[in-house]
A and B are shown apart, each in its own frame.
Chain A
Amino acid sequence: MTQPDSSSHQHAQLVERMMKKQAALGLRVSFVFLVLLIGLPLFNLYCPQLAATPVFGFTLTWLILAVLFFPITWLLSIYFVRESEKIESEAAAFAHQTLEPGATTLDSSMDLEKEVDR
């Protein structure tokens, strides 16, 4: 296997930066979501009165879990997809400006097919 040339090295750094951003975004969104998943049982356990408050005929906690939960996941995923695309387009734009011929050199130097098709 040949040594990656300098432009693929730059690629690697770019992707690594992007990966960190993506991971941070993923963690940020999942944090909101985990607060909900971990928090609701605790809320039920420690504030049973409040959880049982009637809202629109349901109890508050029923309304949250059976009805509101789904739209919340939709909002979170819409936010995620939008932000994640932004990160990718930025990275791609950056790559096109600075590392134009890199893509082809990289591909041929790595001999991917042999690696995976064994």
Chain B
Amino acid sequence: MTDVNLIALLFVILMIVATVGLGIYATGLSKSASDFFVAGRTVNVFWNASAISGEYLSAASFMGIAGLIMKSGYDALWYPVGYAAGYLFLLLFIAGPLRRFGAYTIPDFAEGRFDSPTFRKIAVIFVLFIGFFYTMPQMKGAGTTMAAILGWPYWVGIAVVGAVITFNVALGGMKGITFVQAFQYWAKLFAISVPVFILCSIFGAYNQTVGANIETPKSGPILTKDATLKFRGKKDAPLNAVSFSPSGAATIRFPKGAWIAKISPARKPSPGDDPVPAVDLPPAATLPDGSHGYRIEPNETYSGQPFPVTHSGQPVIKAGKPVVTAPKLEFAEPTTGIVLVGSPVPNAPTNEKWVTPFGPLTSKYEFPLLYTYSLIVALVCGTAGLPHILVRFYTNPDGRSAKKTTLWVMVLIGLFYLFPAVWGALGRAHMPWLYGNNSTDSIVIKLPTGLPNVTLGQILSGITSAGAFAAFMSTFSGLLVSMSGALAHDIYGKMIKPDATGAERLVAFKLAAVIFGIISILLGLTIEPFDITMLVGWAFAIAAASYFPLLLLGSWWRGLTRIGATAGMLTGGLLSLSAIICSMLIDRKILTLEVSPIVRTLMEQPAIWGVPLSLITMYMVSKATQSTLPADVDMKMLRLHAPEELGLSRNYIEH
């Protein structure tokens, strides 16, 4: 796995060169300050839609979804669906009014709609918050891809991607990235679709691969050759856990031995269930850190045997059959193990669990329906509230083309999202050992290398690596532009030096881009142990409970007051954020907190209460503070909704 894939490296370099080259070329076309910020507002619908899609399809979309579908099956299909569905809501309720209002950033909207500079400050803080949360998973994706395909250290990938993008954004501004991002959408679509057609023609069709899971519901993927897995230690919890499959015995040989902190039944035990039978335990020992655990000596093997679940000695029966589970090991120290050929792959859900709804992802805490709905709410509302996506609507000449653009975006991202599921299904069937490593995230990069034809595999893997790079780069540049824009335009241009000239703002923008680029690289270095999807989830949940209610009510309800909007945003946004951070700390075993499964579900997926809470707070507080409504609120509503022909729209920024 450490051998360098030179072909992949070449493709990645080509992608970086094309990105920078296009950025430089586009700079020649970008002249005035307004060009720099909003691409002169004249980008045509199709290219703008390509650019929005290019910006939206991040590392999470390109690698994370395929990996999650491979890992969790059906339930993870809600991710691409939620991302696409969020866009529909954006189209239905937000795209047109927002563009018509003529503001350039969300803070502009916040201030313009409520005449409140204070509110602008709060909105800016949220832009930066969501922005940083969303850049972290991009950085993590860059670091791990480079580590996986080229054997680079984690930090090198981050430094390379971070530096290239920062340079590009500071050089070209938004006009630059409109071209770059439109190009990158098509590069990503090519990279996720073309290799998959070739893979399907060799490995077997998508529908057959999915269908194979229905035929043998109780079994799971089985290793066709020995697989060497790297296991993590306690400090990377929960990634240090390995669950054996209940479908059959699996044997792992540990060349270097292993320290095991805990062995428990893989099926989530209900109170009163008996522990793992003593015959399935290795010798007890004192771990290097002094606590109790188990020791497997070098070159010894451990066999994970399925066993019936018992409750105070009585077998547990479900639907007339005894329930079977298998041991789950939690390693104390990192080690390597060789899973022997013929073993069912550890950590892989059974075929039935994978292909049917309410599988391992949503049933984690026994409330699968609640989990599913809350996930849907987060994805749908979060999309509609992502600041770096919304900012692009101002590059449309008018509200009408904003709607048309969104329509095109629906088509483009929908097309893209047909493919990650194919990767997930093929990955499960043909590269199942990634389950054991908890590294299903890299399936898009690794799967092609499993082809019998090595060169073809390397070429295809090179294409997907370049696509993955396009994904981190485009999303990161979008975020960098909206964060730097917020700083240059909102903080510098509005608060620090209101009479700044265009040239001064431009300098501020470039400076901000470099500063935020450096901060993002540094943040990226610190988050290696966290999951890509977990980090993206933070950004979505915060956006869903803060910006989405603001934009929805702000565009459609004249009675929304500044105090109401602020209260709702802060309550919903901050409470959701704290719930997610608590949940994450519990997962990583930093925080120990006994909560009921329903509360645990609501902490991990807070959108189902966060969004309504924010909306209700906005409503109630606004009702109580109606006297603070601006005198010209009707005029503002008019500007949000009047068609351009009436001549009421005014651009917020005059050049």
Chain A: residues with CB nearer than 8 A to chain B? Answer: 1, 4, 11-12, 14-16, 18-19, 22-23, 26, 29-30, 33, 37-38, 41-42, 44-45, 48, 51-52, 54, 56-59, 61-62, 65-67, 69-71, 73-74, 76-78, 80-81, 84-85, 88-89, 91-92, 95-96, 102-104, 106-107, 110, 112-113, 115-116, 118
Name the residue of chain B whose CB is nearest to the CB of A109: B635
B577 within 8 A of partner (CB)? no
Which residues does B use to contact A, with CB under 8 Å? 74, 77-78, 80-81, 84-85, 87-89, 91-93, 96, 103, 108, 111-112, 115, 117, 205, 207-208, 210-211, 214, 355-358, 369, 372-373, 376, 380, 400, 403-404, 406-407, 410-411, 414-415, 417-418, 421, 556, 631-632, 634-635, 637-639, 641-643, 645-648, 650, 652, 654
A37 touches B85 (CB 8 A): yes
Contact between B646 and A73, CB atoms less than 8 A apart: no
- Complex Cα distance A107/B646, Å? 10
Residue of B nearest to A48 (CB): B356
Residue contact A103 to B646, C-beta cutoff 8 Å:
yes
A84 interface neighbour in B403, B631, B652, B654, Cβ under 8 Å: B403
Residues of chain A with a CB closer than 8 A to B84's CB: 69-70, 73
Known contacts A26-B93, A70-B84, A96-B645; is-contact A59 B214 (Cβ 8 Å): yes
Q: Nearest Cβ distance between residue B115 and chain A, in whole angstroms? A: 7
- Additional pairs, 7, CB under 8 Å, beyond known A62-B74, A66-B77: A15-B648, A30-B93, A65-B78, A67-B418, A92-B643, A103-B646, A116-B111
Give the interface SS of chain B, mostly helix, strand, loop or mixed.
helix
| In contact, A107 and B641 (Cβ under 8 angstroms) | no
With beta carbons under 8 angstroms apart, the residue of A54, A73, A95 that contacts B410 is A73
- Report how far A71 CA is from B650 CA in the complex, Å: 36
Determine whether the beta carbon of B647 is less than 8 Å from that of A77.
Answer: no
Complex interface: chain A residues within 8 A of B85 (CB): 33, 37, 73
Q: Which residues of A contact B87 (CB under 8 A)?
A: 73
Which residue of the partner chain B has the closest CB to A103? B647
8 A-B pairs closest in CB distance:
A57-B207, A103-B647, A92-B645, A70-B414, A44-B357, A57-B211, A88-B643, A26-B92
Closest CB in chain B relative to A60 CB, distance in Å = 11
List of A residues within 8 angstroms of B637 by Cβ: 15-16, 19
Q: Which of A4, A52, A73, A110: most chain B Cβ within 10 A?
A: A73
What chain A residues lie within 8 Å of B642 (beta carbons)? 11, 15, 18
Taking a contact as CB atoms closer than 8 A, the residue among A33, A45, A66 that contacts B369 in the complex is A45
Q: Which of B74, B117, B638 contacts A15 (CB 8 A)?
A: B638
Contacts of A104 in B (CB 8 A): 647
Q: What's the Cα separation between A88 and B642 when bound, in Å?
A: 8
Residues of A within 8 A of B406 (CB): 77
6 A-B pairs with C-beta separation under 8 A = A19-B637, A59-B214, A77-B410, A81-B407, A96-B645, A118-B115
Q: Which residues of B contact A96 (CB under 8 A)?
A: 645
Q: Is the CB of A51 within 8 A of B357?
A: yes
Of the candidates B108, B211, B418, B635, the one whose C-beta lies within 8 Å of that of A110 is B635
Q: How far is the CA of A116 from the CA of B634 in the complex (A)?
A: 15
**A105 vs chain B, min Cβ distance (A):** 10
- CB neighbours of A118 from chain B (8 A): 115, 117
Q: Contact: B210 with A62, CB < 8 Å?
A: yes
Q: Which chain A positions have C-beta within 8 A of B210?
A: 57-59, 62
> Which residues of chain B have C-beta atoms less than 8 A from A107's C-beta?
647-648, 650
A23 touches B418 (CB 8 A): no
When the two chains form the complex, which single residue of B77, B96, B376 contacts A37, counting CB atoms closer than 8 Å? B376
Among B74, B638, B639, contact of A65 (Cβ-Cβ < 8 Å): B74
* Inter-chain contact B88/A33, CB cutoff 8 Å: yes
Chain B residue contacts of A84, Cβ below 8 A: 96, 403
Report whether B207 and A41 are in contact in the complex, using a CB–CB cutoff of 8 Å: no
> In the assembled complex, how far is the CB of residue A63 from the closest CB belonging to chain B, in whole angstroms?
8
Contacts of B632 in A (CB 8 A): 1, 110, 115
Q: Determine the distance from Cα of A88 to Cα of B108 in the docked complex, in whole angstroms.
A: 25
Q: In the complex, what residues of A have CB within 8 A of residue B634's CB? A: 12
Q: Measured between C-beta atoms, what is the minimum distance from A67 to chain B in Å?
A: 7
